[in-house]
Amino acid sequence: MQYFKFGNNDIFLSKIAFGCEPLGGTDWGKTDEKEIVSAVGLALEKGCNFFDTADVYGLGRSEKLLSKALGSKRNEVFIATKGGVRWKQKPNKQRADISFDLSPAYITKAVEQSLKRLNIDRIPLYQLHWPDKNTAIEKTMETMANLKRQEKIQFIGCSNFDADLIKKANNILKIDSAQGQYNILERNFEKTVISESKKLNLNIFTYGTLFQGLLTGKYNLSSKFSANDRRTRLEQFQENKFKENIKLIEELKEIARKHKKTCSQIAIRWVLENTNISAVIVGIKNKKQLKENFESLNFTLDIKDKNTLDNYLNNNKNL
C-alpha cells in the first residue's frame, strides 16, 4: 500500500480509499453483503486504513455495516463520512426522496446519528455532502465549529462544492479536504476545484474514478441495467452519449493490453498519477474488485498512454 500525509498532521492514509457506497446495498444493482464485508477485512490486511462512506448510502445501512465489518478496528482506521442529505422513504417507492440540508439543526442531528451508526466517539473526517442553497454557509460552518469543539468531529471536508463555495467556507473555518468526481471522461473538477484547493492546502479526494463502471470496459452497446441500478438514469449511459463513450473504452483496452492490466486499473492509475490528488476513492463490491483496484498502485503509465487518452477527449468535445 502507498500512503499520503493528511494535512499538517502525523496521519498517513492509504492512496486508495475503500468506497463504501456499495455497502448501502441500493442503487448499484445486485450486491452481496457478505462479500463486501469480507472485502473490508481483506482491505485491512492489505494496509488500507481509509474508508469513505455517507449517511445517505443505503439510508444509514452503509455506516452500520462498515462499523460491523471493521469491528474493533473501527477506532484505528480513518473513517470519512458525509452528511447534509435529508431523505424520506415513501411506501411502495423504489427510491427515497432526497433534498440537501446543511442547516444547523439538521447537521447536528446527522452527526449524532452517524456517530451511533458507526459506533465511534468522534468522526475522523466529516464532509458536507452537497451544497444547500437554502442555508447560509456561515451558519453551517458555525455549526461545524461547535461540533469540532465538542470533539464529535476531528476534521472537516467539503464534497461536491465548487471552488468559490470552498473558498468562502474556508474563510469562515479551516477546511481540511475537498472531494469531487474526477476521471478520464469527467474533468471539470480538475479545471475548477483542484487549483483552488491546492492554494488552500487542502487534501483532495476523488470519486467516480471508474465513472460508475463505464471505465471498467465490461459494458458494451448491448448492456442492460436493472431498474434498481442508477445507470439507467445517468447521462453517460444514455444511448448517444454511451455510443461515443464506448469508443474511448476501445482506446483504454489497447493501453490495458499493452500493460497487461485491466481497463479499471488503467483508469485508476490515470487519476493516481495526478500529483494534486491525495487519494482515489473506489467503490468495492467484493475481494476480486479490491485486489484488482489495489494493483493500480504497482505500475505507471507512459507519456504516450496519457497523450492517447487526453487527445481522444480533446478531439471529442461532445463527450
| Active site residue ranges | 57
Q: Report which residue type is found at 114.
A: S
Contact yes or no for 139/104 (Cβ under 8 A):
yes
Distance CA 305, CA 266 (A): 10
128 Cβ contact partners less than 8 Å away, ≥ 6 residues apart = 82, 83, 84, 102, 107, 140, 144, 156, 157, 158, 159, 161, 169
C-beta atoms surrounding 133 within 10 Å: 7
Query: What would you measure as the largest C-alpha separation in the chain, in angstroms?
Result: 54
* Contacts made by residues 59-62, CB under 8 angstroms, sequence distance 24+: 59/24, 59/26, 59/87, 59/89, 59/96, 60/113, 60/117, 61/23, 61/24, 61/25, 61/26, 62/20, 62/21, 62/23, 62/24, 62/25
Q: Which of 316, 277, 318 is nearest to 296 (CA)?
A: 277
DSSP states along 143-157: HHHHHHHTTSEEEEE
- Which of helix, strand or coil describes residue 258? helix
Q: Which three cell numbers stand for residue 289?
A: 474488485
